[in-house]
Structure 1
């Protein structure tokens, strides 16, 4: 890991931290929360986003007006090198490649040109970047600026990434045979429960030269290059896996759940900050009034996140299953999320009527507000890490229908390690959807709510003074302050 500099003379100005998130909805959302936490710690912050992400934030969120409250915050934009109409989320390997080739020199120029500093803002003290953006560490090394990596995925999935070389060496990927329930033996700490089907989706490609495997198999070498690793998790949730990761990265800061950590810090200051959104999509607030009219813990919230696409057949199976379960539901269906929507996706009259009686559908929802609403009793989710942590914090059991990347690993932990819900991966049959919704919301409701409530209490305890995430964040701030570079 990089060593922090030992300054001879300290600047009278606060340390200046540059944050660079992976330019996708989930990572940007998490890093904006981290940026605000660091603002509250009285550090100077430069938040670097791509032009594309900035335009969506300006259009759909209130983040700019929110950060106007922080004179120590500034946002800077850089090109990702892709045309405006490029489907970045759907073809993110092309995004990574463009960032490495085209954004890296622009990023270096931004840091070395002096454009980020002023009479009231000193030169950048350290970089806090998404760990998948390895070029940020290259630039930091060249310019003598310490780098912290952030990973906005779960620790359990990050550990699987670290173990990809072992999986390949042991011949566990690519798979031999078609038994997807065969246990995986080359991921320490997960030998008893991790199956082939629980590995990240790209492990099913059958090709170790798959671009995703080539990208993520380097994590075990890339992440330890940084001075430290910041994770959006908490010790009480992922402690055993964090112990494994510390064998390679001793300096870890577990500061999650980030969304709740920020709210706790604001509450401690008596802040009257308005409800905020970092969404790249326009939120439909009308669903909150609908939730107000529903009984306590009676609604299952259904959302597959910002990147998931489903077929029209899957869409119909979920619709039938939800209506046939007899439960109330709030369903987020992005306009662009259904493939071949006009092909065989007519809603039968009885299903349409059942939706009117018990369901409410929106293009996008204010998810944190929804999950905190007293009428919501469960979450049918794609198992993205932000969504999983938000559900954990609110004490909501989950039905997991993972789509890609870390979500397969997360769903296995939710269903079989943390016992916070049900894992429904690899199927969308209407009868199984109906059964699992009934199990979560009715048959096993008290069992799941009790377990979820226990974990929620742990999540809340870690954020109070003396708690694991509280202490970890305080240590992070002190370490950043110790990197206060000498006055030029």
Structure 2
């Protein structure tokens, strides 16, 4: 796919600029930078606007131009609530970047020494950008890096709040029931989305309003697994929609990592039997408690399977790194298990020894697992992850959800179901079929291939509309 785009006739002559404004979180940066690379290979000149506290390593991207804007993060401690969720930080950026963003964008638009600007593409959660784009008369497309159904659920968070869902606990009989409007989901999935549901609901109301006012939506997804949801979306969002994912099919390698990657374990991984290793990673943001950390450790050790476990520094609340491992844990699993701070996930998933991916159910990780064909164990944390996990396990049936959290007996059972039981073999067959659907969607005439062609044509024509 990469080769097709590099030989595209547009790539020999840069005639327009595209300005991108990604959120400074790994799960948002990675797909946005992949999108930037795709547009670059199609002949567009790329400018990246970023908050000053979250500057990418610009030496890794010599063909992009970067513009830093002030973000007010030096004062954030005086505003931070006791238990901030993701919406707090994103709201903070929206409120504190608006003037510097407007000034930067106006400067870029006024630079006549550069090719004309075709459009602005921002992360959907930068709702500040729509009014700025309107005032400067530049088309704004939004990039949504998560599953399609998430935007519909987020749209209804205030409704769920008014219905009292977030007041329910595990003791309430309704907690395990299905959501009437979204029968694939359980009420407990909705409850897990937000620690501050009222604030998140108001935040997402702003996001959805500005998505509807945009010039189009770019989705890191493909039609096949979400086709019924996409039809619902088209009824509610009248703007053009482009489903050109999974974006890692264009550029499989991790191209925007904020954390240093460890590669020292690959010789160990090479020595393991095919499909025998449990790969465990809870992403770049999720945090777990000391007791949950120890349950994960016991669960992994007790199964006897070899494992590669990513423990990000600070992932365990109140811990620097591994100091809360069970006593003698490293000695007990010597030779059987490896723990690293971060690693090239795409390479690990594609390795012949990897047999299962235990994930936090971030959308990027889920798509990587689908594209490579590795079944999953799901431990969702917050925001869109419970939605993704429910679809992976109950709708697409390519994984097992740890319904009751991180508990060693449940962990052992889940690993054995995926690795040893007939149930796991069924998951492998289904995810292999889904992987093939991804491949077909990228071939000539496939849905993602056609969506990319439509997007390029649409962006090229925007300045003339």
Q: TM-score, normalised by structure 2?
A: 0.89
1:108 is aligned to 2:108: no
The structure carrying a bigger helix percent of its residues is: 2
Paired position in structure 2 for 1:240 = 228
Paired position in structure 2 for 1:64 = 59
Cα deviation for residue 85 of structure 1 reads: 8.8
Change (3 A) 1:199 1:91: closer
* Matched ranges for 1:251-400 at <5 A: 251-263=240-252, 276-341=254-319, 345-349=324-328, 351-400=329-378
Paired position in structure 2 for 1:37 = 38
Equivalent of 2:192, from 195, 201, 221? 201
Structure 2 stretches of 5 or more lacking a match? 1-12
More deviation, 445-454/472-481? 445-454
Contact 1:110 1:116 in 2 (8 A): no
Cα deviation for residue 217 of structure 1 reads: 3.3
| 1:458-484 Cα shifts (integer Å, max 9, x gaps) | 111111221111110110110000013
Rounded to whole Å, the distance in 1 between the matches of 2:75 and 2:204 is 26
Q: Using CA pairs below 8 Å that are at least 6 residues apart, which structure has the higher relative contact order?
A: 1
Change (3 A) 1:82 1:242: same
Change (3 A) 1:445 1:255: same
Q: TM-score, normalised by structure 1?
A: 0.85
Secondary structure of residue in 1 paired with 2:257: coil
Structure 1 stretches of 5 or more lacking a match? 1-11, 264-274
Rounded to whole Å, the distance in 2 between the matches of 1:116 and 1:337 is 44
Rounded to whole Å, the distance in 2 between the matches of 1:336 and 1:284 is 17
Number of aligned residues: 445
Rounded to whole Å, the distance in 2 between the matches of 1:27 and 1:437 is 29
Paired position in structure 2 for 1:479 = 458
Equivalent of 1:223, from 211, 230, 245? 211
1:423 is aligned to 2:416: no
Secondary structure of residue in 1 paired with 2:230: helix
Contact 1:172 1:184 in 2 (8 A): no
Contact 2:219 2:243 in 1 (8 A): yes
Contact 1:20 1:129 in 2 (8 A): yes
More deviation, 156-165/168-177? 168-177
Rounded to whole Å, the distance in 1 between the matches of 2:164 and 2:408 is 36
Contact 2:355 2:419 in 1 (8 A): yes
Paired position in structure 1 for 2:447 = 468
Cα deviation for residue 346 of structure 1 reads: 4.7
